A and B are shown apart, each in its own frame.
Chain A
C-alpha cells in the first residue's frame, strides 16, 4: 500500500506539473501582452509594479517567466492579488478554499447518501410507488438546468417563503458586533465536525468489538450524547449564533446541489443492486436465515456499493467544476466565485492560483476515492 501511495503521489506531481504548464500557456495565449498589462498599468503604485515585475519576471523572456512561474508555485508564492490588494493570493485562497470544500463535500456526501438509500430501496422492492416517484422526479431534477433551478430554489425558499437567507456566506447584521472573524468561527466549526466524526468512528469501532451476541446495544444514544455535548459547548461559547448563521446559509446551496445530483447515484445504485441480488451469495445469505434487512444492507447493498463508489470520482470533479456556477448563483464566497471574480477583474495572479488549487483538489479527491475503494473491496490490493 505504501509503495502504491508513493507512486500515486509522484503521478499526481507530474499531473500537477502539466496543469501548471497548461495554465501558464493559457494565460500567455490571451490576447494582449500579459507582461505589459502589469508593467505599464498606471493604476498600480510604482513600488507595487516594481515588486510584480520582480516576482513574475515580467521583463524577462517567456521561457524564463515560465520557470519563474514554476518556482513560485512550488514555493507557494503566487504574488499579490489585485482585487484584494494588498493581500497575497495564498492568503485569499486559504480563506476561500475551505468554504468550497465544506460546501461541496457536504453536498456530495448528502446526495450520495440519499441516492444510495433510495437506489437500494427501489431495487429491493421493485415496482412500488416509491420507485416511480423517485425515478421520475430524480431524472427530472438531474436534467434540470442548474442556474435556473438554483434561482427557483432561492425564489421559493428565500424570497417567497422567507425561511432561508437569499445567498452569501453570512448575515452582516448578525456579525456587526462580533469580535471574531468569520474565518476563525468557520475553522472552529470544521474542528467540531472533525471531532464528532472521530468520536463516531470510535463508538462504532467499540460497538463492533462487543463480545455479547444479541444483546448488542445501539450506538445511537451515545452518538446523540456526543452531539449534545458539542452543541452545548457552542451554545456556551457565545459565538453559537454566528455558527448557526453560517449553517443557515449553507442549507439552500447544499439542498439544491443534492436535489440536482442525487439521481445519478440513485439510478446507478439501483442497477448495480439489481445485478447483485441475482448473485448466489445473496441467496446464500437468505438461506442462512439472516433477517431481510441484513441480507439487503450487509450483502446486497454492500457489494452493489463498489461500482457506485467509482462514480464518486466523477461527481466530485463535477462538483468542483460546478462550483463556479453554484457559488455565483448563491453568492457563496468560495473558490469558484473567487475564480469568476478574478477573471472578470483580470486579477491574473488570483486566476492562476485558483486554477492550480482547483486542479490540486481534483487530484486529491481522485486519490482519496482510490484509497477508499481499496478499503471497501478486499480483492483489490494496490501494488
Chain B
C-alpha cells in the first residue's frame, strides 16, 4: 500500500481522513495500527476493502495485493477480493451480525457467495470446523445473534472472517467491546489461529496492550498520517516520535517500574483544517517554530522510522521515504 489518501466531503468542507499513508505487509505478519479515535484507522480499513460511504473520495495512492492494484478493479472483481482475499473482523460484533438470520447461515452465506465449497453439506461442515476453531460449540450455528453473549458474537465474527481462507484479516478493534478476560482469551486464540493458518493480520486498535501482545510490527497514526512504523519490540523499547511516547505512557506497564500515568492533553486536530507543519505540534512538548512551519522529514534507525523534526533518539538519521 503506497501513498494512500482519502478525503470525505462534509458540510464542514473537505475532511482529509488519510494523507499519504504507506506501509507493506508480509505474508503471515501481524501489523498493529494504533492511534486515538478519529485518526483514520477505520477509514484505512474501509479503504483497503473499498467499503467507503458515498461522500468519500480516494485521493491518490494505490493498494497492491500480490502486485494487483485494488483501487482500480471493477466492482465485480473487487467483490471477489472481499472476504476471499481480505476479510474483516468488525469492531461492533453485535451490529455486524444481521439480527434476522441464524449466525451459521451468515457464515454460510459468505462461503456460498465465493463458491469455496461445492455442496451445502460440506459448507456446513466447514462452518462447524470454524466454530470449533474459535472455541464455539457447532450447535451455536442455529442460534440468532441476540441469543449470544458479546464474547460468543465476537467469536462468530472471527469465524466468519476466516470462512473463506483469506490472505489478510483486518481486525478493527476486535475486542474493544468485551471485558478484559474475554478480550485476552480471544486475542490469544486469534494469535494461535494466525500461526496455524499462516494469514496476515492487521490489528487496528487504540489499546497499546493489545499491540504489545500480538503484533510483529506497529504503525502509529496521527491525524490521518502514519507517523511512526517499526518492529513492535523496538518501538516499545525506544520510540522515535513524541506522540508514540505519549501514547505509551498513557498505559500502565505491569512489569515496568511504578510511575505516574501521563495523559496527553488537548484534542486530536480537526481534519478539515489540519495544523500547518507537523500536525502534532500543538500538543507536542518538543515543538519549535520549525515544527509549526514545515512538514517533518522522515528519520529512521534500523527498520524503524518516524516523521519528526526532533526524534527522541538523536541517533536517528534522515531516510528516503520510499
CA distance A306 to B112 in the complex (A): 26
Q: Which of A285, A306, A376 has the most CB of B within 10 A?
A: A285
Q: How many residue pairs at the A-B interface have CB separations less than 8 Å?
A: 88
Instruction: Looking at the assembled complex, report how far the CB atom of A275 sits from the nearest CB atom of chain B, in whole angstroms.
Output: 13
* Interface residue B81 (Cβ < 8 Å from any Cβ of A): yes
**Which one of A22-30, A207-215, A251-259 contacts B?**
A207-215
Instruction: Looking at the assembled complex, report how far the CB atom of A373 sits from the nearest CB atom of chain B, in whole angstroms.
Output: 12
**Which one of A87-95, A131-139, A286-294 contacts B?**
A286-294
Interface size class of chain B, counting residues whose CB lies under 8 Å from the partner chain: 35 or more
Query: Residue B146 contacts which of A285, A303, A376, A379 (CB distance < 8 angstroms)?
Result: A379
* Interface residue B265 (Cβ < 8 Å from any Cβ of A): no
Instruction: Looking at the assembled complex, report how far the CB atom of B74 sits from the nearest CB atom of chain A, in whole angstroms.
Output: 13
Contacts of B113 in A (CB 8 A): 288-291, 294
A287 touches B49 (CB 8 A): yes
Contacts of B82 in A (CB 8 A): 286-289
Q: Number of A interface residues, CB 8 Å? A: 28
Contacts of B90 in A (CB 8 A): 280, 284, 287
Contacts of A284 in B (CB 8 A): 88, 90, 96-98
Which chain B residues (84-140) contact chain A, with CB distance < 8 Å?
84, 87-88, 90, 92, 95-100, 109-115, 117-121, 123
Which chain A residues (231-248) contact chain B, with CB distance < 8 Å?
none
Contacts of A286 in B (CB 8 A): 51, 82
Contacts of B92 in A (CB 8 A): 280
B80 touches A211 (CB 8 A): no
Instruction: Looking at the assembled complex, report how far the CB atom of A299 sits from the nearest CB atom of chain B, in whole angstroms.
Output: 5
* Interface residue A378 (Cβ < 8 Å from any Cβ of B): yes
* Interface residue A377 (Cβ < 8 Å from any Cβ of B): yes
Query: Please, which residue of chain B has its CB at the minimum distance from the CB of A290?
Result: B113
Query: Residue B98 contacts which of A210, A214, A285, A291 (CB distance < 8 angstroms)?
Result: A285
Query: Residue A378 contacts which of B80, B99, B115 (CB distance < 8 angstroms)?
Result: B99
Contacts of B96 in A (CB 8 A): 280-281, 283-284
Instruction: Looking at the assembled complex, report how far the CB atom of B90 sits from the nearest CB atom of chain A, in whole angstroms.
Output: 6
What are 6 sample pairs from A and B whose C-beta atoms fall under 8 A apart? A211-B120, A214-B112, A214-B115, A289-B82, A306-B100, A378-B100
A residues near B (Cβ < 8 Å) are 210-214, 279-281, 283-292, 294, 298-299, 302-303, 306, 376-379
